[in-house]
Amino acid sequence: MFAGWIAQNLHLPLWAIPILLVVLISLRYLLFAGGALAVITLFEKPLAPRRIQPSPFTANQLWREAGWSFLSMSIFGIVFVGLFLANRRLGLFQIYSDISQFGWLWFALSIPVAVLIHDFYFYWTHRFMHLPGVFERIHKVHHLSTNPSPLSAFAFHPIEAVIEAGAVVMIALLIPIHPIALALTMLYSILTNVMGHLGYELLPRGVAVHPALRWLNTATSHNQHHRTYAYNYGLYSLVWDRLFGTLHPRYEELYDKVTQRRRSAQAPLAADEMG
Ligand SMILES: [Zn+2]
Ligand SMILES: [Zn+2]
């Protein structure tokens, strides 16, 4: 895909594509997940009132999350190279290389449409992975972090990594998409993903009940999902959780508690306060 497109345009040999892709995906993870961890460590004190759970991240947790995440990167690389080859040799997918083929308007529109497809796909595959029997075998790895750090963004069992990569396959099957539009979608995806695992709520008070913003996913919502193993299955949005009745009944209350804490009154929330 994106790496394939680069390789094609830079006339790199075929064997260079998977290596280039895994390096690019890993760099993206290091930059965003590692960068977020560095920022919250550096600004630990001023950010303290916005910390969602009081317990600190442990070194063991961080190493475990990074280990699973790098394994996921390699799996993403293999799946994406398969997709690139299937697109080029079999014409199965709708990845196109000439922007003028569908125009700039579609290029711009394809990004929110891809986000919508990814959001819907993620919600249902996530709910599937919470089914008894499936959860223990696959998704439990991701939930080993009951208080997730940014490094847990891609801490998946290998089968879950394949399922997550399936979102890109689904997008390329359903809509014509340029590799750069796909890369921008994935960039937005990692931003949302890292924010969801930040452990801190940085959005302003009132977002969870705002008529328009309440549909957005937040760090509080995904943190609550990790702690309770239920509810709040969304990635980019809470649209499907709100529509299908899987939003945690105390999500808005928790969001309000986390975002109203002042520096002078930053007592950690008691377990029964967190919902
Ligand atoms: Zn889950
Ligand atoms: Zn998570």
Residue-wise pLDDT for 149-159, tens only, equals 999 999 999 99
Identify whether the C-beta of residue 230 lies closer than 8 Å to the C-beta of residue 251.
no
Residue 180 neighbours by CB under 8 Å, 6+ apart: 2, 5, 107
Residue 230 is assigned to a structural domain of this protein? no
In one letter, which amino acid is 104? W
H or E stretch at 61: helix 59-85
The single-letter DSSP state of residue 218 is -
Ligand 2 centroid–CA 227 distance in Å is: 10
Overall number of domains in the chain: 1
Residue 37 is assigned to a structural domain of this protein? yes
Residue 164 is assigned to a structural domain of this protein? yes
Ligand nearest to the Cα of 148, by number? 2
Residue 46 in 3-state DSSP?
A: helix
pLDDT score of 89: 80
Residue 243 has pLDDT above 80, yes or no: yes
pLDDT score of 264: 46
Nearest residue to 36 (alpha-carbon basis) of 151, 139, 125? 151
pLDDT score of 90: 80
Residue 86 is assigned to a structural domain of this protein? yes
H or E stretch at 236: none
d(CA 20, CA 249): 44
Residue 235 has pLDDT above 60, yes or no: yes
Residue 165 is assigned to a structural domain of this protein? yes
Tokens of 142: 């991701």
Query: Chain centroid to CA 82: how far?
Result: 22
Nearest residue to 245 (alpha-carbon basis) of 259, 234, 258, 235? 234
Tokens of 99: 């922007």
Residue 226 is assigned to a structural domain of this protein? no
The mean predicted confidence, pLDDT, of the chain is: 90
What are 113-137's pLDDT values in tens digits? 999 999 999 999 999 999 999 999 9
Residue 35's domain spans which residues? 2-203
d(CA 167, CA 159): 13
Ligand nearest to the Cα of 196, by number? 2
Residue 185 is assigned to a structural domain of this protein? yes
pLDDT score of 81: 84
Ligand nearest to the Cα of 130, by number? 1
Ligand 1 centroid–CA 110 distance in Å is: 27
Q: Considering the entire predicted model, what is its pTM?
A: 0.88
Question: What is the mean pLDDT of the segment spanning 175-188?
Answer: 94
Residue 10 has pLDDT above 70, yes or no: no
Ligand nearest to the Cα of 129, by number? 1
d(CA 142, CA 128): 14
Identify whether the C-beta of residue 273 lies closer than 8 Å to the C-beta of residue 257.
yes
Residue 166 has pLDDT above 90, yes or no: yes
Ligand 2 centroid–CA 247 distance in Å is: 15
Residue 268 has pLDDT above 60, yes or no: no
Question: What is the mean pLDDT of the segment spanning 63-71?
Answer: 96
Residue 1 has pLDDT above 60, yes or no: no
> φ, ψ for residue 225 (rounded to 5)?
-65, -45
Identify whether the C-beta of residue 168 lies closer than 8 Å to the C-beta of residue 21.
no
d(CA 151, CA 210): 29
Residue 11 is assigned to a structural domain of this protein? yes
Q: How far apart, in Å, are the Cα atoms of 184 and each of 109, 125, 155, 162?
A: 12, 22, 22, 20
Ligand nearest to the Cα of 217, by number? 2
Tokens of 215: 């549909």
Ligand 1 centroid–CA 70 distance in Å is: 19
